[in-house]
């Protein structure tokens, strides 16, 4: 399926004493997530941030809310907990939709088979379908802004690379976490949208979970 909005730009802003701020920009699409650039600042000012943050989704880690005003940059804020919650909600809804379809098919098949064979021959054939369950990932994850590595450990993924500069450590860790979460989301979406027997309105591939996608779409409305 063709994504309704097939790209997004994300800026991750982190703060860690005594190193200051680290900012990275990620380019996201239906197939990949890659770090487009990274910067380190002791202090932040609007002039230096304008080009980096303009018209992007902004994810902050360890940064006080009043430090960055997204309106100045025509940007919008997103967060990791909403990504996890929306992904879990989507997986539950997907499983429920498939189960409903299976139950409906079972009832239709039972009703069809209850009709005498002589009469059944003149009717459209109903087949009892053998469908695989949704292959969704577990989204029973927790997130602590003070320790992004903890969520990476829950995912069973590598959390760091030896030799990473201390001033960039939180940024790199968060970038990895976002990539891992996006990989999971895309895999779930691929499974869901491959079920072409479901309602076609349910088969549109979304590159981001609901709240992040809504913020992505709102960026189009900002001047």
Question: Over the stretch 67-80, which tens digit does the pLDDT of each residue have?
Answer: 888 988 999 999 99
Task: Give the per-residue pLDDT at 108.
Answer: 92
Q: How confident is the model at residue 5 (pLDDT cuts 50, 70, 90)?
A: low
The fraction of the chain above a pLDDT of 90, given in percent, is: 59
Task: Give the per-residue pLDDT at 126.
Answer: 92
Residue pLDDT, tens place only, 90-116: 999 888 888 888 899 999 999 999 999
Q: Is the distance from CB of 206 to CB of 213 less than 8 angstroms?
A: yes
Residue pLDDT, tens place only, 139-176: 999 999 999 999 999 999 987 777 888 889 999 999 99
Give the residue-averaged pLDDT of 53-66: 92
């Amino acid at each position: 399926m063709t994504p309704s909005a097939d790209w997004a730009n994300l800026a991750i802003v982190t703060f860690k004493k005594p190193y200051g701020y680290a900012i990275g920009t990620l380019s996201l699409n239906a197939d990949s997530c890659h770090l487009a650039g990274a910067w380190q600042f002791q202090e932040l000012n609007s002039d230096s941030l304008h080009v980096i943050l303009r018209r992007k989704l902004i994810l902050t880690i360890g940064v006080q809310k009043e430090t960055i005003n997204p309106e100045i940059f025509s940007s919008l804020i997103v967060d990791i907990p909403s990504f996890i919650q929306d992904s879990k909600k989507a997986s539950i809804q997907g499983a429920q939709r498939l189960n409903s379809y299976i139950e409906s098919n079972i009832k239709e098949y039972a009703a069809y088979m209850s009709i005498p064979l002589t009469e059944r021959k003149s009717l459209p054939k109903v087949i009892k379908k053998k469908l695989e369950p949704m292959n969704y990932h577990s989204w029973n994850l927790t997130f602590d802004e003070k320790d992004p590595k903890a969520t990476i450990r829950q995912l069973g993924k590598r959390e760091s690379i030896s030799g990473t500069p201390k001033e960039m450590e939180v940024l790199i860790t968060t970038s990895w976490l976002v990539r891992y979460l996006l990989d999971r989301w895309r895999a779930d979406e691929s499974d869901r949208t491959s079920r072409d027997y479901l309602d076609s309105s349910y088969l549109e591939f979304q590159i981001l979970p609901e709240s992040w996608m809504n913020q992505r779409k709102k960026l189009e409305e900002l001047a």
